Copies of this chain bind each other. A is one copy, B any other.
Amino acid sequence: MPETGHPSPSYTISQLAAEFDVSARTIRFYEEKGLLAPRRTRGNQRLYGRRDRTRLRLILRGKRFGYRLEEIAEMIGLDEVDPDEAAQIRKSLAFGERKLGEIHERMRELKLMEEDLRSVAAKLRRRLAQLEGGAPEDA
């Protein structure tokens, strides 16, 4: 069995909290909801490894797209699946397909939002030019 040589870095809760700019409470809350499962020190303090950190990143990323924690849990495959059950795997694959569809839809929508913002900005700039040109403040 090959040794990796990398003992997997570990983080305290406040280190992770600082890195991702969330509160420690938030991170504990995600654990309550079954989204994280860090190891503990003998003193019972949470110890987060590389996987936990990655997972937290995914959670926060999902949140930024308006997914609820419950959905996020599904997306990272935490409902997991007796590995014996091929049917379950097929179900997960179907789920993934749907999510991919949603993602593409989101991409389209982002482009629309971008256009919207640009046109609003253009309108504002015209208004601004008008104000500055037409009525030059009191300079």
What is the interface of chain A, defined by CB distance below 8 A to chain B?
58, 61-67, 75-77, 83-84, 86, 89-90, 92-93, 96-97, 99-100, 103, 106-107, 109-110, 112-114, 116-118, 120-121, 124-125, 127-128, 131-132, 137
Pick the contact of A61 from B67, B96, B99, B109 — CB < 8 Å?
B109
**In the complex, A75→B120 CA distance in Å?**
9
Q: How far is the CB of A113 from chain B (nearest CB, A)?
A: 6
A75 cross-chain contacts in B, Cβ below 8 A: 117
**Residue of B with least CB distance to A92:** B124
User: Main SS of chain A's interface residues?
Assistant: helix
The reply to whether B110 and A106 form a contact with Cβ atoms under 8 Å apart is: yes
- 9 residue pairs of the A-B complex, CB under 8 angstroms, read A63-B66, A77-B124, A86-B131, A86-B132, A96-B120, A99-B117, A100-B117, A103-B110, A103-B114
Question: Which partner residue on chain B sits nearest A83 by CB separation?
Answer: B127
Given known A-B contacts A66-B63, A106-B65, A117 and B96 have beta carbons under 8 A apart = yes
In the bound complex, CA of A61 to CA of B109 (Å): 7
A58, A120, A137: which has the most chain B beta carbons within 10 Å?
A: A120
**In contact, B77 and A128 (Cβ under 8 angstroms):** no
CA distance A121 to B89 in the complex (A): 9
Q: How far is the CA of A64 from the CA of B113 in the complex (A)?
A: 11
